Chain A
Amino acid sequence: MRNTFVLRWGQGLIGLAALIAVLELLPRTSLVSARYLPPFSTMMTALRRQLGEASFWSALLNTAQAWAIGLTIAMILGIVLGLVIGSFPLLRELTFSTIEFLRPIPSVALIPLVVLMFGTRMQGTLVLVVYASLWQVLIQVLYGVQDVDPVVRETARSYRFGRMAQVRHVVWPTALPFVMTGFRLAATVALVLTITAELVIGSPGIGKQIAVAQSSGAVATMYSLVIVTGALGVLVNLLARALERRVLAWHPSHRSEVIA
């Protein structure tokens, strides 16, 4: 068991090393012009220089802030709306068409509007982030609420659980795995939208730094920032998965993993 684990990690490291080698060798052998794709080592030098600059860290902080605030608003809105709509069949029927209609509207369609209303302030980014990630949470919560076992629900009713108690002890634990799936999806979408908004609108953050690096021809810096966004994405994924495992440690689908 342990050996296969080590083996898998080893293989993964070989894969990463191969990617780095390709990135280093393509420009060195001039298969690709170094003006378009600088060698990996040059990207890393640029990255080290970035890490020493205050502007990089403040951009990173801006991005993290917009991401966290947007995601929090989307989560709260999505959970509350989902629990309310999901609990009443009439509301569900009423809102179904509207949700299905609004959901596929690409959030970037709102960019021009947001630019007019907020300029490059953070609120603009937040509108896009919340709009895009709200649906991920809301849909999952709706699924989750519908997934409640009718026997459990009727038992709770027989024992005269009030509406709040039912939500707390019956609906919420059933919906929690769905909520966490929604959280994982929303966390990724929120990061993508945060960086996109910064890139396109120009509100402060890593995305804007990339746009600036591109327009000033600092190719290596641009690549190093792209790598940073990738690392951020991986980090968000890992965090979301870790949180999911923690919150759902009691759930059967996660319990088996612990025993094995």
Chain B
Amino acid sequence: MTAEKLARTATLGAALPALLLALWWVATADSTDPYVPPLSLIFSTFPETWTAERLQHDVIPSLARLLSGFVLAVVIGVAAGVAVGSFHGLRHTLEPVLEFLRAIPSPVLIPVVILFAGIDDTMKILVIVYGCVWPVLLNTVEGVRAIDSVLTDTSRCYGINRSARLRHLILPGASPHIFAGMRQALSLSIILMVIGEMFAASNGLGFSIVQFQRSFAIPEMWTGIIVLGLVGIALSLLLGLIERRALAWYFGLRRSQRRE
């Protein structure tokens, strides 16, 4: 029964993508438009473009920048968010400043960061950190504020000290919000990585796609777009997996509350 249901979901899930791909294939089959090459050509260009060497030279550095920026942003965002969320005075003082800093579209910071850090990896990572800190920080603040005050009071009554409270109450309590922030930050980090590399770089995914475009290597450019899409999908699946593991208690709790 469940196997049947699973098969149904799988068929339905695969049907539309298959249909769209088929449409794309047929629609571009004898396309002479240089910008929209036939899908078959894009597919046949794929393996020769994305060789092991290119993966090592372009994809790995990109991913390394992205992940280091993302992890740094999460650490800074959670630390600052817990601090801002825990102290009313601090929150009220910083609120307008944070609103303003967050409202600056982060790609705009690329020229600014270039001034300070040049155009090497530090620049790209700094831009990612700057852009990704805000969703994590603001969501952490919300999460810390949303913790049940009965729990806070109880832990205080039992004389649980600050660091234990942080580890066993505040961080777990805020974690659903933190993950929501991380999800927003992840898609931002990919965007910022690509733009950083498009702006100034000597390797990386964004750099090679722009290179393809400038040299009118159109099928190669399309494969680059596809690779970027795949990276985006893979990373969001990965985060989803981590989220489901880390927040298993939360999803279970919600399910049982819903059933009541």
A interface residues, Cβ below 8 angstroms from B:
7-8, 11-16, 18-19, 35-37, 90, 93-98, 101, 104-113, 115-117, 188, 191-192, 195-196, 199-200, 207, 210-211, 213-214, 219, 222-223, 225-226, 229-234, 236-237
Contact = CB atoms under 8 A, between A and B. Distances in A.
Interface string B189-201: 0110011001100
A230 B105 CA distance: 7
A110 to B, nearest CB: 7
Nearest to B233: A104
A223 B112 contact: yes
B104 A106 contact: no
B6 interface: no
Contacts of B111: 199, 210-211, 213-214, 222
Given A93-B12, A98-B17, A104-B233, A109 B107 contact: no
B182 interface: no
B221 interface: yes
A79 B170 CA distance: 37
A105 B229 contact: yes
Contact of B209 (A109, A225, A237): A109
Contact of A11 (B92, B112, B191): B92
Given A98-B20, A199-B108, 18 more contacts: A15-B94, A15-B97, A36-B116, A104-B190, A104-B236, A105-B233, A108-B198, A109-B194, A109-B229, A112-B209, A112-B213, A117-B35, A196-B195, A199-B107, A199-B195, A210-B108, A211-B111, A214-B111
Contact of A16 (B97, B106, B218): B97
B118 to A, nearest CB: 11
B102 interface: yes
Contact of B187 (A95, A97, A104): A104
Contacts of A213: 111
A36 B95 CA distance: 27
Nearest to B190: A106
A110 B218 CA distance: 13
Given A8-B92, A11-B93, A98-B17, A108 B195 contact: yes
A94 B187 contact: no
Contacts of A107: 191
Contacts of A191: 105
Nearest to B222: A113
B13 A93 contact: yes
Contacts of A188: 103
B210 interface: yes
Contacts of A230: 100-101, 103-104
A116 B35 contact: yes
Contact of A12 (B35, B96, B101, B236): B96
Nearest to B229: A105
Contacts of A210: 108, 111
5 contacts: A15-B95, A94-B15, A106-B229, A192-B106, A226-B104
Residue among A11, A37, A106, A236 having the largest count of chain B Cβ atoms under 10 Å? A106
Nearest to B237: A104
Contacts of B110: 199
Contacts of B109: 226
Contact of A19 (B97, B112, B232): B97
Given A105-B229, A109-B228, A233 B103 contact: yes
